[in-house]
Structure formats: C-alpha cells, structure tokens
Amino acid sequence: MEINVLWAVGLCFLLVGDGVKVEASHQPYRNLQSLPREQPYRTAYHFQPPKNWMNDPNGPMFYKGVYHLFYQYNPYAAVWGNISWGHSISYDLVNWVHLEPAINPSEPFDINGCWSGSTTFLSGEKPAILYTGADPKKRQVQNLAVPKNATDPLLIEWVKSPHNPLLTPIDDIDPDNFRDPTTAWQGPDKVWRVIIGSKIKGRGMAILYQSKDFVNWTRSNKPLHSSTKTGMWECPDFYPVSVNSKNGVETSAQDIFTKHVLKASFKDCDHYILGNYTLKTENFLADTDFMDTGFDLRYDYGKFYASKTFYDSAKKRRILWGWVTESDSESDDIRKGWSGIQSIPRSIVLSRTGQQLVQWPIKEIEELRTNKVSFDSKELKGGSIFEVSGITASQADVEVSFDLPNLNEAESVDPSWVDPQLLCSQKEASVKGTLGPFGLLVLASKDLSEQTAVFFRIFKRNDNYAVLMCSDQSRSSLGDGLHKTTYGAFVSMDPSDRKISLRSLIDHSVVESFDGEGRTCITARVYPKLAIDKEAYLYVFNNGTLSVRISKLSAWSMKRAQIFPIKKRRKPQIN
C-alpha cells in the first residue's frame, strides 16, 4: 500500500473521531484536479483550495503531530473579498485535508474582513492567532483568537478574544496602513514582542509592540526598522537563522550563533535583509538595507508574494510558504472558478557565506516522483535542442547540471547591465549569445510555438563571472490578455567549479525554478493553449555559440497530491 494511501486511511480515523466527516466515501477527492481538459491550469501538487479566491499564507504551524496552513480565503467567489482564514491540515505538507474556515468576519472589529496575521505558541505550547481585522469604518485593527479546544490536534474551532481589538491605529498611525502582525517572540524577561507592517510619513516600517500577557500591548518608542525607499510594508516576517548549522531556529531563540532575517512585502516582491538583533535594546542592525545599490535580496524574483515562515519543531527546520498570484485576467479566474496557489513549501537556511538565504523544496515533495529518466555526460552544441521524453512534461520535477569547459571564452559584461530583469527581457531565449542562453524549455508545444524558457547566460566581469538566470514567459502562450513577464536575477558562481545547475518544478500553470544551490529562485505562471497535459513537452537547449556539457540530467513525472475536502458533521434535527 502506498504511503499516501496509508496517510489517508489514518487521517480518516482521526477525523471521524473528531466529529468531522470526509466526503466522497473516504476516498481521495480527485475530481477537483482530474479534469485537465476542463481545468488545464489547475495544479496537481501545489496547494490550492477546492475553489474560489486565495491569497496570503497565514500562520502555518506544526501542532500535536499535524501541519496547519491558514490562508486568506474568499468562501464565495474567485475574486478578492469576504476575506476569511481558510484552514487546511496535513501530516506531510504534500497531501491535504481542507477544513472549514478557522476565522470568519462576524464582529465589529473584523466585520469587513479577517486579514493576514500569524500564529504564536504561548506558554504551555498553546497556539494563538494575531490577525488584522477591518472594522465598520474599514480601519485596520489587530485581534486575537485562540482554539476553543486546545487538546484538539485539528484545531477545528477558534474563539475571538473579548478584548478585541487589542491594537488600534492611534496617534500618527495611518488606519489604512496598519496590518499583518508577525509571529511574536519572547525574551528571557518573559515579555512578548510583535511587529506590524505600516507606512508613516512616507516611511515603510515595522512598528514594534511589547506585552507581558499577549493582550495588553505597548508601542515601542521606535520601530524595529524603517525605510524611505520601499512604501508600505505588507506581511513582515522576523526570525533567527543559524550561522553554523543547517537546522532551523525557533522564533524566540537569541544567541551569538544566530542572525536575524527581516522580510517585508512591497512593490510586488518579497524583499529581505540580514542583520543582528539585540533584544535588550530592541535594536536591529542590518548588514545592508532594503533597496541599497548592488543589494537586492529577495526570496523569489518572480511571482511570489506575502510569504510566511514557520519553525517546524518536528524536523528542526524553518519552512517558507509564498502566495503565487495568477497572470491571467479576473474574468479568466471567474471562469475557472478559482484564483491563487501557494508555492511548494521550501526549507530556508543561511548560506555558507552568511550573506544571503538559501531555499530548497522540502524533501517530502520527492515522494511524488515517479517514472524517472536520466542520462549523463551529453554534449550540448551551440544551437542545439533535444527532447527529454518518457515523463509527463506538464507535471514534472527536473534537475540538470551543466559543465562549462569554455568558461574562459564568455563574453564581457557591459558595465551598464545592472538590472537583471531588464537584461533577461532584452536578451530572451531566442537571442543568441556566446556562453548561453542554455537551459530548459518547459511547458512547450511540439512545434515550439509555445515555450517557457528557464536558462542561464554567463558573462565575464573583471576577474570574475556574472551569471544571469532568466525565466522567459514571452512565448509561453498563444493566448491573449495574459501577463507574459520575463524575470531575471544574477547568480553567484565559483569560477573554479566550472559548473552550474538548475531545478524546475513544473505543474500545469506554474514553474518554480532554483539554481543548483537554492540561492536564486524564480516562480512563473503560464497558461499555454497547446502545451497542455499530454501535449506538453520538455526540452534542453543551448542557443549560444559555445558548447556546454550536460553532466547529469534527472527528470520525474510527479504524482498528484491527495486532496480531501471535509466538513463538520451536522447535528441531527430533533422533531
């Protein structure tokens, strides 16, 4: 019996014991994602609810053996509005059960929406939710909810605090720019800290609050950090990472072996900075600041926004989720009946240099791999292309490593080339170069009239090399009314290594790509008309004049994740 079937059977017993029933006779609910001609863009192994609108991930956590994912959700339509906290659970972060929403607009302090927030474990490992509500005047206020029954591992029901709203936009705080509380952290002084995204007098900032009881909060006399270059900070995140271990670190950890990450969502991207945090003085000293010249640290350089991390105590790792928005129109979303997916969860650690973060898809996703094809040591001459056959190219995981024997012959980089996205747009996959473009053509039609190219170009820069990584959507679809943006980023490279690698996760309408060490990630949404399901193809290509060598390529078809919608068991009517 496959592991996902065992997972499903065990979960059914647990759910029935909690007074919750699984629909479809306890069988995996496949029909939401098994009609590819009717739903060619619905994903097979990325998280998304059965229908309707979804945006930010909220407060993911691991509790009593169960992973919980909360998310911004419209229960009634495939467009933004009526925002609730959707709630799904899993044992492995791959296969999911959809529960009833955890929090719905119902009180004056959230009647116009239960917006983003986070979960925190209080003393005794009791979970709590801090979230932003929109009140009758549409002011943004901060609220608290706790489980009705903390012994329930599924956390089916949540109760809003009678003290709500805990925080309101007073003094100089703009009531339209005061939202998205983070996971709180606690110092040895037993005082809780939390930051809330804001913009005051043109400065994006993380307003810092302190509390001894998690109910009564006092604003600090200064923000944790601020910037004049960013605009409003949405969905901030603040957490420690280890400087000498690949293990994750619990959010309240404070020692000399950690650095802190401050993330803010603005300008349609998730930017982060690294620095040192001193709890006693509440001082965060950043190594570099947001939007500093020459530093553009992002989780992802494509479609990835409003992300949230959590500490997975079961496996001692920190995991990152991000909202992957659509690139089609609102009318398309209404026609599909859904909008928005979540990225594959990623483990996140500090790089060996300590200058950036490294991300990689969680190991559990590899349980879906099947039908592997692979080959070693194949020369890829300039202008060549060949098909990788034997897998389902619309639903795949691909890893390829390239040797660069002609690295010394790379063309020199123009000093004016400082914007990688612009450079990728100008030098798309069809534009010949010297060492590159080379990489993958994914979700491609047989005649290549549709293709999404994920590739590298390599340039000389003084005594070093500049590696450009691109995700080119310019030919991704013959359809109209789509955003076919091309994304790009520079990738650091050790010239003595003379090799570079790429991994792409392909799932019908989303392509998540990682350079081989996870230093650079690019996510794209595409909607091909021809390259759908079995009519999608995968190719490796080299459109440079110099040869490269494929040292190893491995590709797998990906099985569908198991999805179970469930609902509360109704009490019988008594006549």
DSSP 251-318: TT--STTEEEEEEEEETTEEEEEEEEEETTTTEEEESS-TT-TT---BS-SSS-EEEEEEEETTTTEE
On whether the CB atoms of residues 310 and 316 are closer than 8 A, the answer is: no
Angle in degrees, CA 73, 208, 320, rounded to 5: 45
Question: Prior bond to 165 cis, omega within 30?
Answer: yes
Residue written as tokens 């509500």?
133
Residue range 506-546, pLDDT digits in tens? 999 999 999 988 999 999 999 999 999 999 999 999 999 99
Sign of CA dihedral 91, 93, 96, 101: positive
Spatial distance between the Cα atoms of 145 and 116, rounded to a whole number of angstroms: 13
Question: Prior bond to 437 cis, omega within 30?
Answer: yes
Beta bridge partners of 126: 122
Q: How far is CA 90 from the centre of its chain?
A: 17
The confidence score (pLDDT) of residue 21 equals 41
The confidence score (pLDDT) of residue 381 equals 96
The confidence score (pLDDT) of residue 13 equals 42
The total of other beta-carbon atoms located within 10 Å of residue 24's CB is 12
The confidence score (pLDDT) of residue 566 equals 64
Spatial distance between the Cα atoms of 176 and 93, rounded to a whole number of angstroms: 34
Spatial distance between the Cα atoms of 378 and 146, rounded to a whole number of angstroms: 57
Give, as one character, the DSSP assignment of residue 409: G
Question: Which tokens belong to 290?
Answer: 């947001």
Helices and strands, counts by H and E, the chain = 3, 39
The C-alpha R_g of the chain, in whole angstroms, comes to: 24
On whether the CB atoms of residues 468 and 459 are closer than 8 A, the answer is: yes
Spatial distance between the Cα atoms of 442 and 408, rounded to a whole number of angstroms: 29
Spatial distance between the Cα atoms of 101 and 104, rounded to a whole number of angstroms: 7
The confidence score (pLDDT) of residue 3 equals 42
Helix (H) or strand (E) holding 8: helix 3-17
- Beta strands at 52-63 and 338-339: parallel, antiparallel or unpaired: parallel
Question: Which tokens belong to 167?
Answer: 């925080």
Going through 368-437 in order, the beta strands assigned E by DSSP cover 369-380, 384-387, 395-403, 411-412
Give, as one character, the DSSP assignment of residue 561: P
Residue range 236-251, pLDDT digits in tens? 999 999 999 999 999 9
Helix (H) or strand (E) holding 423: helix 420-426
On whether the CB atoms of residues 401 and 426 are closer than 8 A, the answer is: no
Active-site residue set? 56
Among 445, 456, 443, smallest CA distance to 511 is for 443
Spatial distance between the Cα atoms of 369 and 528, rounded to a whole number of angstroms: 24
Please, is 17 exposed, middle or buried when counting C-beta atoms within 10 Å of its C-beta (0-12, 13-18, 19+)?
Answer: exposed
Q: Which one-letter amino acid corresponds to residue 333?
A: D
The confidence score (pLDDT) of residue 272 equals 98
Q: Which residues of the chain have pLDDT under 70?
A: 1-37, 566-575
Helix (H) or strand (E) holding 330: helix 330-336
Dihedral class, residue 221 (left if φ above 0, else alpha if ψ from -120 to 50, else beta):
alpha
The confidence score (pLDDT) of residue 26 equals 27
State the distance between the two ends of the chain, measured CA to CA, in whole angstroms. 45
Q: Which one-letter amino acid corresponds to residue 156?
A: I
On whether the CB atoms of residues 137 and 115 are closer than 8 A, the answer is: no
Residue range 99-156, pLDDT digits in tens? 999 999 999 999 999 999 999 999 989 999 999 999 999 999 999 999 999 999 999 9
pTM of full prediction above 0.75 = yes
Q: Which one-letter amino acid corresponds to residue 483?
A: H
Q: How far is CA 506 from the centre of its chain?
A: 15
Q: How far is CA 86 from the centre of its chain?
A: 17
Spatial distance between the Cα atoms of 178 and 198, rounded to a whole number of angstroms: 5
Spatial distance between the Cα atoms of 231 and 390, rounded to a whole number of angstroms: 48
Going through 20-83 in order, the beta strands assigned E by DSSP cover 20-22, 52-63, 66-74
